[in-house]
């Protein structure tokens, strides 16, 4: 049997398809939700779920939570005298779910379909798969959480040419996906999100409101007291689901506190978080070239969508009541189980083709030629734009830049910045080319990205037919803190350049932001205009800079007005 797993930031679930429907399997405590918390005692015993959360109140230094946010990074979590990566901690949660499911079903389970946020990048997806393997699962399929929710709602059974928006706000991550159905194909048109925004942040708001109201210096509290305050804030947050106010009750030392918070005041304090939610929604609609009026249905997913202020916000934004027919905490697990049944070719499940998109732009570093024949390196050439339907392949021809150049290096990058070094380095390929005049030799660079989040890059020399290939699996390590500090120190030593003047810097930042928000031809137009402005800055003629700055600002204004 293949099971479905929702590996969440706050809670995790495991499910299976019983031949007719998805069933969430209760854990050893008889509950459907297993908190994504891990604790280790002095003897090396690992505790998962509610037991771990309980231990945190007494031994906060031995317990970890919200580690899903660190998937795909080199961050280590210290629990007592031991260190763990986010993938290792996640594997403990998955192993606990596996044991519960095997006890419930009375059979050994070897394979699982695991869900991830749609906005998870390659590193994070690989870490999720690694966590499953460490727990004893074979993980051949990763499904995005919004797609799983769509399957659970049976959206594949709706009328053709229907568009849906899945609003997924979990404990630690937020993503929004736009899906379109035609025939038996469920296509993800666009995804956007924030891997550091979720229910935990709404809990943090309540903590800060409590500290301000009671004039408590949070830095004066020890780890045990902070853990207690956090737990009470979570209880207070859940109280809003029942009424228009909730009471924050807390005991610190010998003193007991009680603070009644109205839903209205809480909503005012959450305006910054609600504003952060709006941006990914706008980006996904823009990338999918879809208007709000084109959306047939809005589906809420994730425990944080139970908050009245979130539901009100979504209702006002879309001008309709969102669909919450399935428990937002359980809907992804239901969909993962159906996907597992599809993989097993279960006859009770209608096969639906699920397409996905590449959530980040993939590209390479290139040099551009300035006026006067000067070469400016470090620019980003997008090869596969974000939200391209996968599998996808794209080829670009690149040329030598220097006289008698003997090697062409193709750096493989992931990200949205037009400056190559600001994107994530994935790998590189060096190929030898015959020496000759600049621009004579060329290579064809082909990027291919598939549904398993595997990137293949092929570099072929046009004249010699020499070909090199690499498959990116993202096994490299991130920069250490020391390397980051050294890099910052070296940058600080550079002299101030005209582009560092506040007004020039502001325009460049604005241009970078608009570049990252755009795709296709519009992105290329912005890049060309920014390159021109930077070229003027390099000349350091302040009179010319002032004139160009005015023109550049008007250009950016016009580009943004076109979007409105």
Catalytic positions are: 6, 68, 145, 168
State the Cα angle at 422 between 420 and 425, rounded to 5°: 70
Neighbours of 382 (CB within 10 A): 25
Q: How is 58-108 classified by DSSP, letter by letter? A: H-GGGEEE-GGGGTTS--EEEETTEEEEHHHHHHHHHHHHHHHHHHHHTS-
Q: Where are the alpha helices (DSSP H) in 289-431?
A: 308-318, 331-343
Rounded CA separation 8/59 (Å): 23
Residues 6+ apart with CB under 8 A from 162: 155, 180, 181, 296, 297
Rounded CA separation 20/348 (Å): 6
Residue 312 contacts residue 264 (beta carbons within 8 Å): no
- Torsion sign (Cα): 6, 7, 11, 17: positive
Q: Which residues are bridge partners to 22 per DSSP?
A: 17
Rounded CA separation 551/271 (Å): 35
* DSSP 8-state assignment for residue 499: G
Q: What are phi and psi of 544, to 5 degrees?
A: -65, -40
Q: Where are the alpha helices (DSSP H) in 106-184?
A: 122-134, 145-152
Which three-class secondary structure string do you get for 412-449?
EEECCCCEHHHCEEEEEEEEECCCCCCCCCEEEEEEEE
Q: What are phi and psi of 398, to 5 degrees?
A: -120, 145
Rounded CA separation 543/555 (Å): 19
542-557 residues labelled b (16+ CB within 10 A) or e (exposed): eeebeebbeebbebbe
């Amino acid at each position: 049997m293949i099971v479905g797993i929702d590996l969440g930031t706050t809670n995790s679930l495991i499910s299976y398809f019983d031949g007719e429907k998805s069933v969430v399997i209760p854990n050893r405590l008889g509950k459907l939700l297993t908190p994504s918390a891990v604790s280790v005692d002095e003897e090396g015993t690992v505790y998962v779920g509610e037991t771990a959360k309980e231990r945190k109140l007494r031994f906060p230094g031995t317990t970890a939570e919200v580690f899903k946010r660190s998937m795909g990074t080199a961050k280590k979590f210290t629990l007592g005298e031991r260190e763990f990566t986010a993938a290792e901690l996640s594997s403990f949660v998955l192993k606990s779910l596996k044991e519960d499911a095997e006890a419930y079903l009375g059979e050994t389970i070897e394979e699982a379909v695991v869900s991830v946020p749609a906005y998870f990048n390659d590193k994070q997806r690989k870490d999720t798969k690694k966590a499953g393997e460490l727990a004893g699962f074979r993980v051949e399929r990763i499904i995005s959480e919004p797609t799983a929710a769509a399957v659970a709602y049976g959206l594949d059974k709706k009328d053709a040419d229907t568009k849906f928006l899945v609003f997924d706000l979990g404990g630690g991550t937020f993503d929004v996906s736009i899906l379109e159905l035609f025939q038996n194909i469920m296509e993800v048109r666009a995804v956007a999100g924030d891997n550091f925004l979720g229910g935990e942040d709404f809990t943090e708001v309540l903590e800060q409101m409590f500290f301000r109201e009671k004039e408590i210096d949070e830095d004066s509290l020890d780890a045990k007291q902070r853990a207690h305050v956090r737990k009470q804030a979570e209880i207070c947050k859940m109280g809003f689901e029942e009424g228009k106010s909730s009471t924050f009750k807390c005991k610190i030392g010998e003193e007991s506190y009680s603070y009644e918070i109205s839903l209205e005041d809480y909503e005012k304090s959450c305006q910054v978080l609600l504003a952060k939610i709006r941006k990914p929604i706008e980006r996904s609609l823009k990338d999918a070239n879809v208007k709000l009026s084109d959306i047939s249905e809005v589906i809420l997913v994730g425990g944080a969508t139970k908050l009245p202020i979130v539901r009100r916000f979504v209702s006002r934004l879309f001008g309709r009541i969102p669909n919450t027919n399935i428990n937002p905490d359980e809907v992804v697990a239901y969909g993962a189980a159906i996907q597992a049944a599809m993989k097993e070719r279960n006859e009770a499940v209608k096969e639906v083709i699920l397409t996905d998109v590449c959530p980040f732009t993939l590209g390479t570093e290139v040099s551009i030629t300035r006026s006067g024949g000067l070469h400016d390196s470090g620019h980003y050439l997008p090869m596969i734009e974000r939200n391209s339907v996968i599998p996808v392949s794209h080829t670009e021809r690149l040329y030598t830049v220097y006289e008698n150049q003997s090697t062409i290096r193709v750096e493989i990058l992931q990200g949205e910045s037009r400056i190559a070094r600001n994107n994530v380095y994935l790998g590189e390929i060096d190929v030898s080319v015959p020496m000759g005049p600049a621009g004579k030799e060329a290579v064809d660079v082909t990027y291919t990205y598939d549904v398993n989040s595997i990137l293949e890059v092929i570099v072929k020399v046009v004249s010699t037919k020499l070909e090199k290939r690499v498959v990116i699996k993202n096994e490299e390590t991130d920069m250490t803190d020391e390397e980051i500090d050294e890099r910052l120190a070296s940058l600080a030593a550079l002299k101030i350049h005209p582009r560092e003047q506040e007004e020039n810097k502001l325009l460049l930042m604005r241009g970078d932001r608009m570049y990252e928000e755009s795709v296709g031809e519009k992105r290329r137009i912005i890049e060309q205009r920014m390159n021109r402005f930077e070229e003027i800055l390099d000349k350091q003629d302040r009179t010319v800079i002032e004139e160009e700055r005015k023109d550049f600002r008007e250009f950016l204004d016009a580009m943004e007005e076109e979007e409105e």
